Amino acid sequence: MTTRKYRTGERAQQVAGRKAAGANWKGTAQGLIFTTRNGTPIEPRHLNRSFEALCARVGVRKVPVHDLRHTCASLLHEQGADTRMIMEVLGHSSIRVTMDISTFVRLDSQRSAFDRVGDALRGDGDGPDDDDGPADAFVAV
């Protein structure tokens, strides 16, 4: 079993749950952050059903709970978020872990990147770097 540092919000949520349950708190010394109202471990099936219902209610696509960290990292990456910030959000110890494990580039993003490379090679772009000569000239890479 691995231990990790608790973020302030996680610890506060745990303390608030314990106070709200009062004498009904049945939590164990496992140090769980997300529990039932009484501090017992959440049954995975119940978590999945609740999460699916929440996704449907707010109108977002269903993502399996297991994939949420990967999805978060990938969407942040696609939106141009700094890698260090993504690492901090996910609680990784190194940027390499973040980039190697938790992010992937969607196919449409790959196509867009290759389209931009093609535009640059053809001289189709209208940016300041588009003065490399005629479009049919060879380009040394």
Tens place of pLDDT per residue across the chain (141 aa) = 344 555 566 677 777 877 888 888 887 656 777 788 888 888 889 989 999 999 999 999 888 888 888 888 888 888 888 889 999 998 888 888 888 877 777 777 778 888 989 989 988 766 555 455 454 544 444
Contact between residue 20 and residue 39 where contact means Cβ atoms under 8 Å apart: no
Instruction: For the chain, give percent helix, strand, coil, nearest 5.
Output: 55, 0, 45
Q: pTM of the prediction? A: 0.52
Question: How many whole angstroms separate alpha carbon 28 and alpha carbon 15?
Answer: 13
